[in-house]
Structure 1
Amino acid sequence: MKLIDSNIEKSTFFQFFTLVTRFDEYQEMVKSAKNAGFQDSAFYYFDNKNINDFDAFSGINHAIKLCTSKYLIFCHQDILFNFDTKDHLLQKIEELETIDPSWAVIGNAGRTRKGQPIIKITDPHGEEQTQGPLPSEVMSVDENFMIINMKNNLSATTTLKGFHLYGLDLCQNAEYLGLKSYVIDFHLLHKSKGNIDQSFFNSRKEYIQLQQRRKKLKWFFTTCTRFCVTSSVLWNAILNNKVILKLLTSLLRRQK
């Protein structure tokens, strides 16, 4: 892991950690963050330009070990702070503290336990997308921008690997500790609309296998997928059939 500048000793509130494959794009993100008021924050990056020494799960856990600030920001290299500022973010965190001081993870997009999207973002899907109310408790957050409250003993699952569903994993691990995750009113630009490739489906399969060892039945919703997990391999295959999954999700959302 490398530090992009020498402001680490001044980082009281925020330290940034990012997996980097394109250093020019990462530098653009850092510049936009500093222009938005994060001049006194430290910016760490994992150098994955040539080889993936860290995946998302190991990267988050390594970042948590190193972080000395109040809040850890784990974000993509392709975001830009073109709208809201650091002061705005601190204000929204302070508001959340009055509502729920036990929060563990914050994002700018996510899904509730019933699959409802909660969003405040500009990306290729649309400008200034807002679905709330904000803040709202969610079961998962999108990985483009995540804030971890360092007062809690939180980590990603060490047996999982890859670059997908680590936001869901982190939020669910928080839930197991009796903590909560939220999407707040913090607007930034994410250049990517997401990448659902074979590695994504591999990660989803691994996460289902993890969860089927933990519980009998639970729904999982993220910004880009939905699935149901039971302790049975057969029922997992049946319930996650596209047609059945669509029907069950519709019925779930109708429940009060």
Structure 2
Amino acid sequence: MTLLPDFIQQVEQPVYTYQYSVCTLVTRKQEYLEMLNSFIEAGFTTDICEYLVVDNSETNKMDAYQGINSFLQKAGGKYIILCHQDILLTKTSTKLLLDEQIAAMDARDANWGVLGNAGAVDRLYKRNVYKIAYPQNKIDVKGNLPQKVCSVDENFIVVKKSANVGLSTDVGGFHLYGLDICMSAGLLGYTCYVIDFLLMHKSLGNVDDNFRSTLSYLKNKYSAFVKNRYLNTTNASFYLSGSVVKRMLFETRLFRRVIKTAEELKSKLST
């Protein structure tokens, strides 16, 4: 029997230090402490949960994309909760309920990577799904839950640590990272869902110029990945398109020969 050298180490299944890592960008410390206390009272105690923060109360040390990527790398929890400082867990939004929701998702679709309490369905037309409470005892509910989505709202996001998802490093600011993380998960083969986890969010969000600027950037960024084009590997070549007809046509030998002839002609004319 041949023995492997001593310096080679075998990769083992990951061992998590905590069940949950609760991660927040903090600008108002008092509001964060209220959120923190609501989590602990709901059963997210410090023996099974760690609490990670980026302290932006004095100055912006990190934007959302930088901070969340740092959280995702550093977190020791099996599940990473990314949440706003202006949420409060209620008597019903307990750790036990989240445990049950995750177990139900594992049974329904073990390939899930991201969960939220609000999001948008991937359809030709826009359709939001959510279950969320606001001050003055207002509760908004829309859609049957759980439901698969293409983006989640940023107020509360649960990420499976083993999915190894991350945010784009070429995007900055504090908007639309719920969309970006779902895009990242999808490209890695994971699914995203909105689940039934009612909590209170004090804010309705803010669609400002920064939001619109980030949206414009992300639209251009994603378009570069999904635009019609040829992709080549050392052993295969194919055409990427949402149109089955285009894929069939552009991958024929005749069409490829036409394209190759046109490129050769263009090259001769330019010299």
Question: Structures share a fold, TM > 0.5?
Answer: yes
**1:96 alignment partner, one of 105, 126, 129:** 105
Structure-1 residue corresponding to 2:133: 122
- TM-score of the pair, normalised by structure 1: 0.78
Structure-1 residue corresponding to 2:44: 38
Unaligned stretches of 5+ residues in structure 1: 1-9, 218-229, 231-256
Residues 155 and 18 from structure 1, CA distance in 2 versus in 1: closer, same or farther, beyond 3 angstroms?
Answer: same
**2:183 is the counterpart of 1:172:** yes
Counting matched residue pairs gives 209
- The offset of 1:11, in angstroms, is 5.6
Q: Distance in 2 between matches of 1:92 and 1:35?
A: 19
CA displacement, residues 75-120 of structure 1 (integer Å, 9 cap, x when unaligned) = 0000000131100110011000001111010000000012221101
**2:35 alignment partner, one of 8, 25, 29:** 29
**2:72 is the counterpart of 1:64:** yes
Instruction: Provide runs of 4+ in structure 1 moved above 3 Å.
Output: none
SS of equivalent to 1:214? helix
Structure-2 residue corresponding to 1:181: 192
**1:137 alignment partner, one of 140, 143, 148:** 148
* Percent of residue pairs identical: 39
SS of equivalent to 2:18? coil
Q: Give me the CA root mean square deviation.
A: 1.8
Unaligned stretches of 5+ residues in structure 2: 1-15, 229-240, 242-271
Greater gyration radius: 2
SS of equivalent to 2:163? coil
> Contact 1:80 / 1:190 at 8 angstroms: preserved in 2?
yes
Task: Give 1:85's aligned amino acid.
Answer: T
CA displacement, residues 181-228 of structure 1 (integer Å, 9 cap, x when unaligned) = 0000000000001011111111111111211211138xxxxxxxxxxx
**2:150 is the counterpart of 1:150:** no
Task: Give 2:23's aligned amino acid.
Answer: F
> Contact 1:124 / 1:193 at 8 angstroms: preserved in 2?
no
Structure-2 residue corresponding to 1:190: 201
Task: Give 1:36's aligned amino acid.
Answer: A
- TM-score of the pair, normalised by structure 2: 0.74
